[in-house]
Structure 1
Amino acid sequence: MLTSGEELRQAIRRRPGMYIGDTYGYGLTRLAESLLLLGVIAGREGRVREISLTLGADGSCGISFDGWPWPRPSGTSLIKDVGQWLTFVNFDMNAETRPGMPRGVIFPVPYVDLGLVNALASSLEVVAWAGGQRWRQRFREGLPQGEPHAVAPGAEPSASETGLHITFMPDATIFDPSSRFSVKWLRGRLASFSAFHAGITWRLRDEATGLDERYRRERGLPDYCVELSDSSQPIHSPWSFEGQAGTTRVRLALQWGEALGHGVRSWANLRECTLDGTHHDGLVLGLRKALRARMKARGPGQDELSFTDAALLRHLTAVVELVVPHTVWHGPTQEELANPEAKADVSQLVSAWVEQALANHPELESRVLALSGVPRS
C-alpha cells in the first residue's frame, strides 16, 4: 500500500508499464495526453483560450497554457502550487474526481498525472508567470533540483498575463530510445478536443517534421459534424442539442445527407467509444421513437414502419459527447461504454429533440423519413 508521494514516485519508476501501458510509443503518448487533459478541463472552466503542444526534435515534449489551468491557489505561489502536484505533495490515493469531471489518464484526479510525467522524465522544467513576474523550477527523475527562482522581467516575454509552460524529456533509461510520440494519434485527439470546447485554440507543433497545425471550432460539435459529413451531400445544416436526463449529460450534433453518412462518433468523459455501447443503443432508439412519432402525426397506421438500425444510420452523421458521473466499460480496452442508464437517458433526450426538430422543419421531414426507410408515396 503506497502511503507517500515518494513511495509512489519510486513505484512508478520501478514498474512504469503498470501505469502507462508500455515504455514505447503508446506509453510516451499517454504522457502527452495527461498534459492535454489539463487543457480540456481548463477550457471547460473558461480558464484558458489556447493550449499549445510542441514535440521537440530532441525527443522532448512541451505544453503551454495561456492561463492558469486549475483554480488559483490561495496563499501559495503559482510555481509552488504546480510543484506540489509534480512531486505528489497533493497525492491522495482515495481522492475522487468531482461528478462529471474527466478522470486523469492514469489517476482519478487529473492533476496527479503531472507527478507521473515528472517521475518518468530525465528532466522537466516548469515556468509560471502572472502579473509581470515569471518563475522557473527544474526537476530530475521527479525530484526538484533546487528551489523555484524568479526569471528576469522581459527575459522571456509572453502574450498572456498568466500562464504555465512545462517541458519534459522522457527518461531514456526507461523508454525505448527509438520510440516517438504518435503525431497521428495526437492530431486526432486535438481534433476532437476542439469540438468539445467552442472557441478554444489547440496547437500542435512537431519540430522534427515542421508540422504546425491549429485546431479551432467556433461552434464546437456542429463544426466537427460539418467536416465529417462533407462527402455525404448534406440536406441541412447541423442540428445541435444539449441537455441532461438523469445523471447523463448529452451534447449532440447531427446531419442527414443524400449520400452515405459518416455514422456516429462519440465520446464519454472525453474517451472515444470506438465500439459504440449503451449510449449508441439509446441514440438509435431515440431516433426510431422520433421518426415513428412524426409518422403517427401524419395519420392512423403511419407509425407501423419499424425503422431498422441500418436504415436509421445509413445517411446520418452524428457527433455525441456524454458526461456521466462515472464511466463503466465493457472489457479492459475501454472502447465500448456499458453504463446501464445511458441507453434510457440518451433515448429520452434524442427522441424529444429530433421529433421537435422535424416538426419545426416540415420541408425536411419528408426527405429525412425517406432517407430513413419510408417508402415514397
Structure 2
Amino acid sequence: MREETNSYDASHIKVLEGWEAVRKRPGMYIGSTGERGLRQMVFGVTDRAVNEVLAGRAGSVEVVLTVDGGVTVTDDGPGIPVDGGEGADGPGSGPGLEALLTQMKFRGRSGGRHDVMLGILGVEPSVVNALSGRMRAEVRCEGVRWVQEYARAVAVTPLTEAGKTAGRGTTIGFWPDAEVFETVEFSFETLAERFRELALLNRGLEISLTDRRHPGEPRSQRFRFEGGARDFVDFLDDHGAPASEDTFGFEYEDPRMEGTVDVAFRWCGSHEGRILGFANSRPTAGGTHERGFREGVAEAIDAHARERLVPAATAPESEVDPIGEGMTAVVSVKLDHPEFEGAARNVLVNSSVRVCVREAVQERLGRWLEEDPERAAAFVGRLRT
C-alpha cells in the first residue's frame, strides 16, 4: 500500500477581507441569495429613511420598484450629510454620504425605543452597495442637489453638485448584482406586508410602495395609521365575524421597564386565536411581553368574575392557556434596552416587561369590564364555561 502524505498548512488558508468576504459569503450578511435576501437589501436601505420619519425629521418614505429591476428609497428629511461634518443631530452626528455607502462597520443601534429595524439582520447600506451591480445616491440639502454613483461598494464617480433644488431629502437607488443572486425579482406582496405592519405599529408613519416594473399595470399602496395596536387588530379581523364590536386597547409608558406597551385585542366567534407580539417593531416568537399579557387578561377576568358574577364554588378559575381562544391580539413593546434569547433574537427576555405588562393589562381591562356589565358577562362567561 502506498502511503500518501497530505499536508495542510497556512498556505492553504485563504483570508477574505473587506467586501470580498461579503460577496463571497452573502448569506452571512443578508441570510439568502434568493428573494428573502433581496427583501433584506430593501430593508437595509429603508431603515434609515423610516427612522428619519419617526424622529420627526421627515414626513414620509417612498419605495419604488423600478422598471429596470432596481429599487429606489426616498425620504423628505434633511438629507444625509455629504461631507460628514454635521448630521441632523449636530456636528459629527453621522457619517458622510460616501462613508455610509462604502465603509464596512458593525451596526451600532443606540436609538432605543425610538429606533426601528425593518429586517432581522440589521443590514447596513454599505452591504447593500457591495451586493449591488450599481447604486446611485441623490441628496437634496440647502438648495443644492448632490449625486454620486457606486458599483459593488466602490465610488465610481466623485460626489458632484448637480444643480439647484427647492426640495430636500435623500434618494438611494440600487440594482442587485445578478452575479450574486439566484433571482433579482422582488416580491411586492411581502414588502407591502412588512411596510403595512410597520405603519400599524408606529402611529403616523407614512410609507408607500409603488411597483413600476410593468408599465401597463403599475400598482401602489400607501400605509399610514393613527390607531396603533387598535388599528392592527381591526385590520387582522377585517374579514372575521367579531362577537363584539368593541376592541379593548391602551398605550402605557412604564419607567420600570424603560419603555412603552401598546396593547389591543378582541374576542371573535372563531375558536382559533392570534396573539402577535412585537418588540421595537420586530416580530417575536414569544417572550415576557406576551406572557405578561396573557397573565394580565386571566387575572382581570377572574377578579371580575369573583367580585361581580359570584360563580359557583365548583367553577374553576381561568387558566392562562385558554385566554387566546378566539382572541385576536397585538402586544407591542418599545424598549430602550431590549434583551433577546439566542442568536435568532426573536424571544424577548426582559424580566421587568412581564411584570409591567401584566399589571397594566389587569388594571385597565378590569376597569373596562366594570364599565359595561353586559359585555363583561359575555367575556367572562366565554372563558369560564
Normalised to the residue count of structure 2, the TM-score between the two structures is 0.81
Cα shift at 1:45: 1.6
Of the candidates 286, 293, 297, which is equivalent to residue 296 of structure 2? 286
Q: Give the corresponding residue for 2:186.
A: 181
Does residue 1:353 correspond to 2:364, yes or no?
yes
Cα shift at 1:240: 2.4
Compare 239-248 and 209-218 and name the one that shifted more: 239-248
Does residue 1:84 correspond to 2:99, yes or no?
yes
CA RMSD in angstroms, aligned pairs only: 3.0
Q: Secondary structure at the match of 1:208?
A: coil
Do the aligned residues in 1 keep the contact of 2:102 with 2:154 (CA within 8 Å)? yes
Do the aligned residues in 2 keep the contact of 1:26 with 1:182 (CA within 8 Å)? no
Does residue 1:314 correspond to 2:325, yes or no?
yes
Structure 1 residues 284 and 127: CA distance shift in structure 2, 3 A: same
Q: Secondary structure at the match of 2:171?
A: strand
Cα shift at 1:124: 0.7
The 2-side partners of 1:187 and 1:15 are apart by: 28
Q: Give the corresponding residue for 2:156.
A: 145
Structure 1 residues 299 and 240: CA distance shift in structure 2, 3 A: closer
Equivalenced residues, count: 355
Q: Give the corresponding residue for 1:222.
A: 230
Of the candidates 322, 328, 333, which is equivalent to residue 340 of structure 2? 328
Q: Give the corresponding residue for 2:5.
A: none
The 2-side partners of 1:56 and 1:168 are apart by: 10
Cα shift at 1:203: 0.9
Q: Secondary structure at the match of 1:126?
A: strand
Does residue 1:72 correspond to 2:88, yes or no?
yes
Residues 18-62 of structure 1: per-residue CA shift (max 9 Å, x gap): 111122211111111122322432232222222111112322111
User: Which runs of no fewer than 5 residues in structure 1 stay unpaired?
Assistant: 1-5
Percent of counterpart pairs with the same letter?
A: 23
User: Which runs of no fewer than 5 residues in structure 2 stay unpaired?
Assistant: 1-15, 81-86
Q: Give the corresponding residue for 2:213.
A: 208
Taking the TM superposition and a 5 Å limit, the aligned residue runs for 1:1-377 are 7-68=17-78, 72=88, 74=90, 81-88=96-103, 91=105, 93=106, 95-100=108-113, 101-102=115-116, 105=119, 113-153=124-164, 161-176=167-182, 178-209=183-214, 210-230=218-238, 231-245=240-254, 246-247=256-257, 248-260=259-271, 263-273=274-284, 275-298=285-308, 305-309=316-320, 311-324=322-335, 325-329=337-341, 332-371=343-382, 373-375=383-385
Structure 1 residues 166 and 279: CA distance shift in structure 2, 3 A: same
Residues 230-264 of structure 1: per-residue CA shift (max 9 Å, x gap): 31325133332122443253111222334456521
Q: Secondary structure at the match of 1:297?
A: helix
Do the aligned residues in 1 keep the contact of 2:50 with 2:116 (CA within 8 Å)? no
Do the aligned residues in 2 keep the contact of 1:195 with 1:220 (CA within 8 Å)? yes
Cα shift at 1:300: 6.0
Structure 1 residues 299 and 227: CA distance shift in structure 2, 3 A: closer
Larger radius of gyration: 2
Amino acid at match of 1:173: E
The 1-side partners of 2:98 and 2:312 are apart by: 65
Do the aligned residues in 1 keep the contact of 2:338 with 2:348 (CA within 8 Å)? no
Compare 118-127 and 67-76 and name the one that shifted more: 67-76
Normalised to the residue count of structure 1, the TM-score between the two structures is 0.83
